[in-house]
Structure 1
Amino acid sequence: MSTLEEHVDVGVPIDTAWESLHRVENYPRFVDGLRDARTEAGGRAHLGVEAGGRAREIEAEVSDRGGERVMEWRTTGEPELKGSFSLQSIDRDHTRVQARLAYDPGAVRETFGGPRGFAQASAIERLVRSDLEHFKEYVEQGS
């Protein structure tokens, strides 16, 4: 498994950022390649993903450590992905959002295609960084 960690500082209080992370249905507004997303019963989420020219439906389990401001998730099928979002208050009006992603590059490459495509570590790093920047824009605009 490869692990990637990225963070972004956002200009909103920690409660605002935390609430925005829990609106799964709005993820397509800031996550590249996500066509649709919805929460389901039992802490599950359904995601319609398009990456590397391939469309896939992915199911994930989501759990919170609310007191610690950590949201953890993992896919329930292929590709096996798991990660977390951790929030830290910088001051009253600023929050650091830390994203962590663990993945098997080979499994991601098989699912989304291309020997030099989506599964390259540098491509995944750019994608996560871009998604965090889009989240920053999304949350700071009060969407």
Structure 2
Amino acid sequence: MSQIEESVEVQAPLSTVYDLWSRFPEFPRFMSGVESVEWVSEGLTHWVANVDGIHREFEARITEQIPGERIAWTSVSGAAQSGVVTFHRLGGLQTKVMLQLDIDPHGVLDVLGDKLGFVAHKVQLDLREFKRFAEAQQDREAAARAV
């Protein structure tokens, strides 16, 4: 089992950042390789991903959700993984997003990619892309309020 911890500071209020992260079907807009995330039932999501040409589908259950604070999940099919994302107000319009991910690499390619740090690097890049996504949304909302 590998543990990954990454964080990013976003120039947007906590409420906006949390709201955007909790819209799971929009994850393909900032998570590379994620093709779709759909709600199956209350608390259960179905994911379709294609990472480096490898097609994966799995389901994940939301195990804890405290609005504005944290979202935790665990996979119920596919490769074993679990994680938690927490949101921290830093003051003004700045929010820190902290992601902790536990994964059990599945297959030779996954183990190799994990050992070489590719998984941690992908998480880091996805968090940076989320930062851009959230800040662009914040800019659009600010512009709409100014009109």
1:46-89 Cα shifts (integer Å, max 9, x gaps): 11011232111110001434167110011102200000100000
C-alpha distance 75-122 of structure 1, shift in aligned 2 (>3 A):
same
2:82 paired with 1:125: no
Percent identical: 24
- CA root-mean-square deviation: 1.9
Distance 1:70 1:93, change over 3 A: same
**Distance in 2 (alpha carbons) for counterparts of 1:9 and 1:52:** 28
Q: Specify every segment of 5 or more residues in structure 1 that has no aligned partner in the other structure, as ranges.
A: none
Unaligned runs of 5+ in 2: 141-147
Spell out, residue by residue over 1:22-68, the C-alpha distance to the aligned partner (whole angstroms, 9 max, x if none): 11111001111101111221201111011232111110001434167
The code of the aligned residue for 1:54 comes to I
The separation in 2 between residues aligned to 1:51 and 1:16, in whole angstroms, is 28
Aligned residue in 2 for 1:113? 109
Note the 1:19-98 alignment, pairs <5 A. 19-66=19-66, 69-98=69-98
Read off the aligned partner of 2:12 and give its amino acid letter.
Answer: V
TM-score where L is the length of structure 2: 0.86
TM, length-normalised to structure 1: 0.88
| DSSP-derived class of the 2:117 partner | helix
- 1:129 corresponds to which letter in structure 2? Q
1:134 equivalent to 2:129? Answer yes
AA partner of residue 113 (structure 1): L
Is the Cα–Cα contact under 8 Å of residues 37 and 48 in structure 1 kept in the other structure?
yes
Say which is worse superposed, 3-12 or 60-69, in terms of deviation.
60-69
Cα 1:15–1:114 change in 2 (3 A) is closer
Distance 2:116 2:17 in 1: 27
**Alignment coverage as a number of residue pairs:** 138
